[in-house]
């Protein structure tokens, strides 16, 4: 599933837009937004049902998209960033299981390129 995009600044002062307009702004379809709403991917505070029409807040949508980032904006955090990307656990790669050919079977031919 593609990641949500932050809305471009359109220069208008209208914060509330209908579902079709938001879909146009972020480059998706109204049906995709509807499915994300129904599955609970987009939280209810970002959209609201007003007079039977789904209305989105562009400001709340942008805030929600920013909250999805694992690395928050530097201005929001006063802590110094860690020098290591490790989370404390060490991953060890396991060797892949290899099937041995049965005994007495002919070995495959090996060719040398010159």
pLDDT tens digits for 26-40? 999 999 999 999 999
- Rounded-to-integer distance, Cα 5 and Cα 106, Å: 57
- Tens digits of residue pLDDT in 95-114: 777 787 788 888 778 888 88
What is the domain partition of the chain in residue ranges? 17-68
- Rounded-to-integer distance, Cα 16 and Cα 22, Å: 9
Residue 47 burial (10 A CB sphere; 0-12, 13-18, 19+): buried
pLDDT recorded at residue 84 = 53
- Rounded-to-integer distance, Cα 46 and Cα 6, Å: 13
- Rounded-to-integer distance, Cα 48 and Cα 6, Å: 19
- Tens digits of residue pLDDT in 28-82: 999 999 999 999 999 999 999 999 999 999 999 999 999 888 765 555 545 555 5
pTM, entire model: 0.52
Structure tokens at 99: 């099937």
């Amino acid at each position: 599933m593609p990641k949500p995009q932050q809305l471009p600044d359109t220069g208008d002062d209208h914060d509330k837009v209908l579902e079709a307009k938001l879909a146009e702004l972020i480059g998706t379809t109204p049906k995709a937004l509807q499915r994300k709403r129904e599955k609970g991917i987009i939280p209810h505070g970002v959209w609201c049902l007003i007079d039977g029409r789904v209305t989105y807040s562009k400001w709340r949508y942008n805030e929600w998209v920013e909250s999805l980032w694992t690395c928050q904006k530097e201005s929001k955090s006063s802590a110094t960033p860690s020098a290591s990307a490790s989370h404390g656990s060490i991953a060890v790669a396991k060797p892949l299981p290899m099937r041995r050919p049965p005994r007495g079977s002919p070995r495959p031919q090996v060719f040398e390129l010159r």
